[in-house]
Amino acid sequence: MEVSILQAGIIAALAYLGSLSVPWFLGLTGGWYTLTRPIVSGLLIGFVLGDVQTGVLVGVAVQVVYIALVTPGGQMPQDLNSAAYIGVTLGVLAVRAGSSVQSAVAVATAVGAVGTIFHNFMMVTNSFWNHRAIKNINEGDYKGLVFNHYIGPQAVQFLYRFIPTFAIVYLGSNLATNIIAYFPVDSFVMRTLTALGGMLPAVGVAILLRQVTKRDIDLIQFLLGFTFVAAMGINMISLAIIGGFFAILHFRYMNVKPAFSGNSVEEEEEL
């Protein structure tokens, strides 16, 4: 499957709009926390490439890997933006060429690890603009402050995000097909990627459970859902309804006020 210049440009533009510190698309809410979620980027990439189903499948699989990713202070163990747009796009192309979704997840995760180079370069460059902006503040130069705070950093960030994404997506459109030609689905390399890709979502879920559970006994709640799916064959929609039911019960139980406080004399006498 070949990617046209227009398609590569749209994907690269979405990568820029969804990158960290870009204010244009509703800031962090619309950009980093929406466009850069792989489940969203997979849908958008699917629309651009004309295969929404494959885009969503790859996006959801990659999303599970990064479901517990946090970026305190802009520090990133992996560059989610690169994984969401470069990685998911290459994953979609690989699946269209005959590869498995699991191997596409492994490719996207590897791209996310390499993508930290783009992010770190961007942060180093931003320190240059910050020093210039502070100097403008001390000198009372409002126009200089606007340029060094908004225009300059965004221009550099656009170059960091747009150019690599465009180049890899456009020039690498035939790469997935060539990889499948050299390494068939039943080859050792592809079977290894499939195995690794199958384990990565489990790692993401494990990290998430580590963050949201306070005690080991809390894992029983999540194991119950796993049991419903694995042992009883319940689909995810039915499981979500069951989970919503128990959530409502828990909410009502936690908000029930006691009939008496036990502090007044009249309540004690009635008791």
- Each domain of the chain, given as residue ranges in start order, spans 5-212, 215-271
Helix ranges (H only) for 50-115 are 52-65, 80-82, 88-96, 101-114
Residue 103's pLDDT band, with cuts at 50, 70 and 90, is confident
> Which pTM does this prediction carry?
0.74
Tens of pLDDT, residues 223-253:
887 788 778 888 878 888 888 888 888 888 8
Query: pLDDT tens digit string along 173-202?
Result: 666 556 556 655 566 666 676 666 566 666
pLDDT of residue 184: 59
Q: What is the mean pLDDT of residues 111-116?
A: 80
C-alpha distances (whole Å) from 115 to each of 47, 101, 119, 121 are: 24, 21, 7, 10
Average pLDDT of the chain to the nearest whole number: 80
Residue that wins the pLDDT comparison between 8 and 229: 8
Per-residue pLDDT tens over the stretch 36-64: 999 999 999 999 999 999 999 999 989 88
**Residue 115 — pLDDT band, cuts 50, 70, 90?**
confident
Task: Report the range of poorest mean pLDDT among 26-30, 73-77, 99-103, 214-218.
Answer: 73-77
Q: Which residue matches tokens 């996006």? A: 59
- Determine the pLDDT at residue 8: 94
Residues 25 and 128: their CA atoms lie apart, in Å, by 24
